[in-house]
Structure 1
Amino acid sequence: MNKRLIAGLVVILAGCASSADDLIAKGDWYQVGYQEGLRGNVSRSMADLSQYSNAEPAEYDKGYLSGIAEYCNPNVAYQIGLSGQYYEGVCENTEEGQKFRMEWQRGWMEYNK
């Protein structure tokens, strides 16, 4: 089961090949938000988004929330911690945020042994 989850995560992350700069230039703000959420990054602020003339904050937010929904899966949190990826607290207000943090912490502790 864990091998399937890891393989799925690798496939998802491989789909993130377009850089944020490329997506911003295309005006694909949904994908910018989605990819940042999927990586577990903290959401961009309105001040940051306002630096771009083509910014679409509503699309960015929709994409970000979709990405976070996938990232915050507690079934892959251990693997995220085990890979050494720092958790920025983006799952705290989700339904399974506490379980995610506990599983990530378990993987993080193993990574740091």
Structure 2
Amino acid sequence: MKKLGAVLLAAIVLSGCSKGISDLAAENDWYGIGYQDGIKGSHARSYSQLRELGQANHAEYDQGYMRGVAEYCDPDVAYQIGLSGQYYEGVCEGTEHAQKFRMEWQRGWNESR
């Protein structure tokens, strides 16, 4: 039941990302941009990539990114991420549950093929 709740939470969070990156940049929501990048399991944007979006607040972006990665790296949703066919870019390496996340993601990834 806990896993189902985590999967539903992840689905809600991902579906709630309705604003585009350009919209968030126009609103100076650098935390939101970082959070969206992190919750998707993407690598952090470089300073030059952020500069292309506007006068970036790197500290806010980094805080949002770390929050998003922390939520993405939940091993209770890793299986579902792999099962959905989403490639894992290794953003959880160095976190407390990195090995469990990777194993659960791999199990889902293998079943999706």
Instruction: State the TM-score, normalized to the length of structure 1.
Output: 0.93
Q: How far apart, in 2, do the equivalents of 1:93 and 1:51 lie?
A: 29
Letter in 1 for 2:88: Y
Letter in 1 for 2:67: S
Letter in 1 for 2:48: A
Is contact 2:22-2:53 (8 Å) kept? Answer: no
**Residues 104, 22 of structure 1: alpha-carbon distance in 2 compared, 3 angstrom cutoff:** same
Equivalent residue, structure 2, for 1:21: 22
Instruction: State the TM-score, normalized to the length of structure 2.
Output: 0.93
Is contact 2:41-2:69 (8 Å) kept? Answer: yes
**Residues 18, 53 of structure 1: alpha-carbon distance in 2 compared, 3 angstrom cutoff:** closer
RMSD: 1.1
Equivalent residue, structure 1, for 2:110: 109
- % identical aligned pairs: 55
Number of residues paired by the alignment?
A: 112
Q: Which runs of 5+ in 1 are unaligned?
A: none
Q: How far apart, in 1, do the equivalents of 2:55 and 2:36 lie?
A: 18
Other structure's SS at 2:89 match: coil
Q: Hey, which bits of structure 1, 4+ residues long, moved more than 4 A? A: none
